[in-house]
Amino acid sequence: MDDTRNLIDEFKGLSNEAVFAALDKKRNPLEVAIENVEHDFNIGTVVRNANSFNVSKVHIIGKKKYNRRGAMCTDKYLEIVHHASVKDFLETQKGRELVAIENNTPRAKALHEKKFVKNTTLIFGSENNGITKELLDKADDVRYIESFGSTRSVNVGVAAGIAMYEWARQNVLE
């Protein structure tokens, strides 16, 4: 029987546990945090992106349930940690640079000017309300993704992919 999972060839035929273990041996130190994103599918998209960049951990702050269909089962191959509060999340982030991706604050600077450190946690919030003030105030840096059309932002799932790629370009590809 053919393995129909959306996996690269080296992982075809392996159990989910074996895929997780193989990826675990070469995880990137990047972590991703999602705070109260309203649309479940967007959380799944961020999780799928996180798998693509083989991040070490995904943090979900607040709402626990999400549409795993958007993750395309990639949630089986990485560590996802739920935090009931911002305080709980921050306790896990000692020694890491917290970079919020948020365009609705005067504190934000352009993403293309950012020099990422390896031990970074990228933070994403809801599309309607953004990242809460409580978490934004704790971020070491705030960046926005430059936009060239009429809309001021891209979908949070797309933003996560762009920001993860920029981190990987600087810390994995160079």
pTM attached to this predicted model: 0.91
Residues 86, 134 contacting (CB under 8 angstroms) = yes
Residues 81, 58 contacting (CB under 8 angstroms) = yes
Position 112 scores a pLDDT of: 96
**Measured distance CA(111)–CA(5) in Å, rounded:** 34
Query: Which pLDDT band holds residue 73 (cuts at 50, 70, 90)?
Result: low
pLDDT tens digits for range 113-150 = 999 999 999 999 987 788 999 999 999 999 999 999 99
Q: Which domains does the chain have, with CATH numbers?
A: 29-171 (3.40.1280.10)
Residues 147, 108 contacting (CB under 8 angstroms) = no
Query: Which pLDDT band holds residue 38 (cuts at 50, 70, 90)?
Result: low
Position 98 scores a pLDDT of: 98
Residues 71, 46 contacting (CB under 8 angstroms) = no
pLDDT, average across residues 91-100: 97
**Measured distance CA(100)–CA(109) in Å, rounded:** 10
pLDDT, average across residues 37-62: 86
Of 6-10, 23-27, 53-57, 154-158, which range is least confident?
6-10
pLDDT tens digits for range 8-24 = 889 999 998 998 999 99
Kindly report each contact of residues 85-90 with a partner whose C-beta sits within 8 Å and lies 24 or more positions away, as own/partner. Answer: 85/61, 86/35, 86/61, 86/132, 86/134, 86/135, 86/138, 88/61, 89/33, 89/59, 89/61, 89/135, 90/138
Query: Which pLDDT band holds residue 64 (cuts at 50, 70, 90)?
Result: low
At residue 34, does pLDDT exceed 70?
yes
